[in-house]
Amino acid sequence: MRKIIVLEHISLDGVIQAPGGPEEDTSGGFVHGGWISPYSDEIGGALLRKQMNGPFDLLLGRKTFDIWAPYWPNHADAWPNVNTATKYVASNTVTSQEWQPSIFLNGDIAEKVAKIKQQQGPDLHVWGSSDLLQTLIRHDLVDVFWLMIYPITLGSGKRLFADGTIPAKFKVTEGTFTSKGVIVVNYERDAE
């Protein structure tokens, strides 16, 4: 069975919106895009590369896919596996795209993702995709949260645990601090 691993840059107050750049996601009037850049260091970079270089497929929301599709095919040197990974995209509007391999999911996303989890293949990594995340969390489909927690509060923006969170127990299986105060922690579902 495949695991769903959520990998997120998150502020102390739970914001996951537009960590990478000012124009990444300005929806809702969000003006804090690019908030992770002052916290980059070698430790965080090495931990990110470790996640990016293992085997994975991607499970993405349409908005994240739309941001990534024109970018990553032209930056394969930074993340080679992203272009060969199968990209499962939750979308009720888009059904095809040049960035392949891509499979578009519509309708009952939770049901379709649950079936994909039962298939053979690498784990499914979720980056960004705040709307999709709410569906996954609400339907108890997340197995692992790999979080990079930044020492900053933003006050507004899309949050990891926005609504519909169900009770669940997790255990810390790995954790470290970067030189810039970012806590990188891996929370896996606790079977107990």
What does the block give as tokens for 138?
Answer: 């609400």
Candidates 3.40.470.10, 3.40.430.10, 3.40.50.410, 3.40.50.150; CATH matching 4-189: 3.40.430.10
Instruction: Please give the model's pTM, rounded to 2 decimal places.
Output: 0.94
Q: What is the pLDDT of residue 104?
A: 95
* pLDDT digits 0-9 by tens, 29-84: 999 999 999 999 999 999 999 999 999 999 999 999 999 999 999 998 989 899 99
Name which of 11-15, 161-165, 182-186 the model is least confident about.
161-165
Could you tell me which residues are beta bridge partners of residue 8?
Answer: 147
* pLDDT digits 0-9 by tens, 151-174: 999 999 999 998 778 889 999 999
The candidate with the shortest Cα–Cα distance to 9, out of 1, 189, 24, 172, is: 24
* pLDDT digits 0-9 by tens, 95-111: 878 999 999 999 999 99
Label residue 131 left, alpha or beta by phi (over 0 means left) and psi (-120 to 50 means alpha).
alpha
Domain residue extents for the chain: 4-189
Whether residue 192 has pLDDT greater than 70: no
